Amino acid sequence: MGGIVVFGAGGRAGRAVTAEARRREYAVTAVVRDPARHPKLGAEGVTVVRGDVTDPGSVASAGRGQLAAVHAVSPFSGPEQGFDTLDPDFFVKAADALLDGLASARVRRLVAVGLFANLLGADGRPVLEDPALFPPEIRPFALAHTAGLNRLREAGAGGAGSADYESGVDWVMLTPGGGLEEDAPRTGRYAIGGERVPNGARVLSYADLAVAVVDEIERPTAHRTRVSVFDGE
């Protein structure tokens, strides 16, 4: 059984995915920008390495010999951070580097964590376009994230049932369909939706998001597309 490389392993989603992968006895390569800032990340079966998700060479180095990769990197921690240091092309660069680097390393499966803001609302518009649902001050980050999703789509638009995903990097983006709660328990329950905000979706725990991520590595159900994931109770 090969291992899983987790880019952004120091963040909330990345830590949850790392824990879920170890629960299932996968070796994990935890990629962070500064290992010194994450002294508690290392554990049995977890190798912490320095890496840059926007650099194809760094991606290839971390991915070599791995079964699959997870992209949970975010350069934005919240509105209080501001946008002075935000690179609007960050997620586009990451998409390019992941597709090129993972292909070079012969890693077939990539699961990325998406952003609620670019799911479609009831009116068919992205949530980020509705100020009643999404804070306008966070719009620059949402646009940057959406640009990364669009770059993945441009690189390979084969859908489920298409023979196209049999070659290259088979990616999927799992987008939480509602809120995420860090300290909520792992239930193992979740549901997969489509491009729209799910009706009545409840808060999903990070632990159950991680269950969905690792399930999509073990038993892929969506190919080169973005889907929503939400509490399946």
**CATH number (domain holding residue 221):** 3.40.50.720
Structural contact between residues 25 and 218, judged by C-beta atoms closer than 8 angstroms: no
Give the pLDDT of residue 82: 62
Give the pLDDT of residue 77: 60
Give me the number of domains the chain comprises.
Answer: 1
Give the pLDDT of residue 79: 58
Give the pLDDT of residue 165: 44
Q: pTM of the prediction? A: 0.92
Asked whether the CA dihedral 37, 69, 52, 229 is positive or negative, the reply is negative
Give the pLDDT of residue 199: 87
CA 9 – CA 191 distance, rounded (Å): 24
Give the pLDDT of residue 83: 62
CA 63 – CA 53 distance, rounded (Å): 11
> What does the H/E/C string look like for the chain?
CCEEEEECCCCHHHHHHHHHHHHCCCCEEEEECCHHHCCCCCECCEEEEECCCCCHHHHHHHHCCEEEEEECCCCCCCHHHCCCCCCCCHHHHHHHHHHHHHHHCCCCEEEEECCHHHCECCCCCEHHHCCCCCCHHHHHHHHHHHHHHHHHHHHCCCCCCCHHHHCCCEEEEEEECCCEECCCCCCCCCEECCCECCCCCCCEEHHHHHHHHHHHHHCCCCCCEEEEEECCC
Domain residue limits at 49: 3-230
Contacts of 233 (CB under 8 A, 6+ apart): 187, 189, 202
CA 54 – CA 74 distance, rounded (Å): 12
- Mean pLDDT, 10 residues at a time, over the chain (233 residues)? 93 97 97 93 94 98 97 77 78 97 97 96 91 86 96 70 58 94 93 91 91 98 96 78
Give the pLDDT of residue 149: 97
Give the pLDDT of residue 110: 98
